[in-house]
Amino acid sequence: MFLYQTSIRLQHTDAAGVMYFAAAFNLAHDAFEAFMDQHLPLVSIIRQGDHIVPIVHAEVDFLAPLTLGDRIEIQITLAHRGDSSFKLAYVFQTQDGRPCAKLATTHTVVGRADGQSAPIFDDLARALSHLE
Whole-number Å distance between alpha carbons of 22 and 94: 19
Active site residue 14: yes
Q: Helices 21-39 and 122-129 sit at what angle, rounded to 10 degrees?
A: 110
Helix (H) or strand (E) holding 94: strand 85-94
Among 14, 30, 37, 61, the active-site one is 14
Q: Which residues contact 125 (CB under 8 A, 6 or more apart)?
A: none
- Least Cα distance to 104 among 119, 117, 116, 92 occurs for 92
Whole-number Å distance between alpha carbons of 55 and 74: 18
Whole-number Å distance between alpha carbons of 78 and 131: 5
By annotation, the residues acting in catalysis are: 14
